[in-house]
A and B are shown apart, each in its own frame.
Chain A
Amino acid sequence: MTQVCLQQLNKVFRGKGLVHAVKDLNLEIASGRITALLGPSGCGKTTTLKMIAGLLQPSSGDITFDGKSVLRIPPEKRGASMVFQNYLLFPYMSVGENVAFGLRMRHEDKKVIRKKVAEMLELVRLPGFEDRRPKQLSGGQQQRVALARALVIGPEVLLLDEPISNLDAHLRDEMRELIVSIQRELGITTIFVTHDQEEAVVLADKIALMFDGVLHQFDEPNVFYQRPASVKIARFFGGVNFLKGRKRGTQVETCLGVMNVDPQPIADGPVVLTIRPENLKLGEEGENRVRAVVRSRVYCGTHARYKVEADGCHFELVTDAANMQCFQEGDLVPLRFPREKIWLLPPEE
């Protein structure tokens, strides 16, 4: 159980000009939990991961494990083992030798190594795979061997680079369950990097969202859906409905009229009103209702997706199959914004 702390962490790369990959990053990563570093590619998340592993030296700032700075500890002694995105199984070693590598580097007894390797392969559900070659394994199996190899040395911190985004859809669920169950069993502090918000949401206890080397929001997954901190974050998490307005108390003036909202922690003045597609109500009368024209409808089995237009403003919404009233393209229907589902954001610069 190790608490990982990043303090005012900076990384500047000298290449063609200076690239400020990570800027003033402060992050307190809870012991024994899974934390995601999320962001589009090139946002500095893998750089951050490699700095935690000790593979990159920060330009300034500090990294602490349980309050002790680890900057002067080389990667092989830091106790943070990493699983790379492309697994990196050593091709000239068998599966068993791959898993045993870290133990061999620690000069463990041969019998102990054999026993631990067998146990670990069982844990990742590959019992008896010791003598296979990495080439004979599928991508999912290679991934699990890489995970076993990282875990067998009993690291203080487990670092994962895009742990499931390389896998086929049907393997992702399996791998996610495996990672979560192993993590819960061993209680190891786990940090992973991903560009895929879905992967972050299903795996992580907490998500740190980064854009261009800057931390934008650090919260539990559901907060990113219900109370994102900015329009950019809302968009990254699949938000599509945005309406400019001006807030005054619990009312927001918009081009579609006045909307009533719950009290929210944002100052009066210009705001952006947002509501998730699954929360908009089509065909319902009541408070915060406007008239909209159905522009398109896609039936998806369990739900239907609509695109509607009201006074030149476009909205997308999802209705579930249970109470699915069927509307056709061109229908003029009421569109309701439930007040408790509206979230106000600061306007974009």
Chain B
Amino acid sequence: MVSVAKTQPEELSESMGAQERDASRSRWGRVFSYGVMVAIVVAVLLPLVPIFIWAFAGRWFYPDLLPEQLSLRAWQYVLSPASKALDAARVGGTIALVATVLSLVVGIPAGRALALYKFRGRQLVQFLILAPVIVPSLAVLMGIHIAFIRFGLAGTATGVTIAHLIGTTPYVVMVMSSVFSNYNPEFEEQARTLGAGPVRTFLHICFPMILPGVVVAGMFAFIISWGQYIVTLLISGGRVITVPLLLVNFASATDKPVTAALCLVFLIPSILIIIVTSKYLTGEEAALGGFGK
């Protein structure tokens, strides 16, 4: 009894102290994180300002800070069939979408296995999956290209899609294994004892719980595939034109307004995806430990 009476006030004051410390830490933490956020936003958005102005610029000569007159000429050209920009967006978007779905189909089970199961050779598998991130793709692309020529995949959208998987899959596996390492598979056992078969357990229990992670992984995969330049160029031999290929073309042709407008087209998916998924990245059940809280 005596010891209880003694420890209680101490514990109380200790916990109060901890609360105060927590409060001040979170106050400074908030100031710090707002600062970092502003810095990131500025660093990301600032380079876009001149591109945005160029895309709508008519006459703009040195040393004017802003264009003399605005014009939609660049947009008219970019959106017309002559520029092939919309075609490139459609082709690139389809390739990116298919690559995303395929890498999710591979990456979700792989991430789950790496995070939840212990098996022989697990670290080797982990290394092999991450290898494409470490090894420069240019080094292996030649070999892949030769193999693709033999299989008739070179110069086709299918071939390009498969080659893009080399870049997208490791990221999906990484994101999904981090999602699954915070996942409690007992939820599935619980669902089984309540009458859900394996398929419905996945659909009703596992999938909703990993959905934020799937969205983030899919976003990664889509943007990686959408932005591939060298892989697309080498495998397609210029026969499959995606937006980055077109962009490099225009960039070397010194029509700045058209290049800038195409740049903005190139950025559209990224911006859309960020808007759509910001909910998952900042919500309480953030998909990634480092991104959330």
Q: What is A's interface to B at a CB cutoff of 8 Å?
A: 15, 50, 53-55, 74-78, 80-82, 84, 86, 88, 90-92, 101-102, 105-106, 149-150, 153, 159
Set of chain A residues within 8 Å of B195, measured between Cβ atoms: 76-77, 81, 102, 105-106, 153
Q: How far is the CA of A101 from the CA of B190 in the complex (A)?
A: 11
Cβ 8 A contact of A75, one of B186, B192, B200? B192
Given contacts A76-B192, A76-B195, 13 further A-B contacts (CB under 8 A): A53-B189, A55-B193, A74-B192, A74-B197, A76-B193, A76-B196, A86-B186, A88-B184, A90-B208, A101-B191, A101-B194, A102-B194, A159-B193
Contacts of A90 in B (CB 8 A): 187, 191, 205, 208
Chain A nearest CB from B194 CB (Å) reads: 4
Which secondary structure characterizes the binding site on chain A?
mixed
| With A105-B196, A105-B200: A88-B190 Cβ-Cβ less than 8 Å | yes
A74 and B192 CA atoms in complex are apart in Å by 8
A and B contact pairs by CB, cutoff 8 A, 27 listed: A15-B118, A50-B189, A54-B192, A74-B192, A74-B197, A75-B192, A78-B193, A80-B193, A81-B194, A82-B189, A82-B190, A84-B186, A84-B189, A88-B184, A90-B191, A91-B285, A92-B209, A101-B191, A101-B204, A102-B194, A102-B195, A105-B191, A105-B204, A149-B194, A150-B194, A153-B195, A159-B193
B contacts, CB < 8 Å to A:
118, 184, 186-187, 189-197, 200, 204-205, 208-209, 285
Contact of A55 among B187, B189, B205, B209 (CB under 8 A): B189
The count of A-to-B residue pairs whose CB atoms sit within 8 angstroms is: 64
Give bound CA distance, A81 to B193, whole Å.
5
Collect the chain B residues with CB atoms within 8 Å of residue A82's CB: 189-190, 193
Q: For residue A300, which residue of chain B has the nearest CB?
A: B1
Give A75 to B196 CA distance when docked, in angstroms. Answer: 9
- Complex contacts, B194 vs chain A, CB 8 Å: 76, 81, 101-102, 105, 149-150, 153
Kindly name the residue among B192, B204, B208, B209 whose own CB sees the greatest number of chain A CB atoms within 10 A.
Answer: B192
What are the residues of chain B within 8 A of A101 when measuring CB–CB? 191, 194, 196, 204
- CA gap between A119 and B191 in the complex, in Å: 21
Contacts of B197 in A (CB 8 A): 74, 76
Across the interface, name the chain A residue whose C-beta is closest to B211: A92
| Choice from A78, A80, A84, A91 contacting B190 with Cβ under 8 Å | A84
Residues on B with C-beta less than 8 A from A91 are 209, 285
Report the bound CA distance from A150 to B191 in whole Å.
Answer: 10
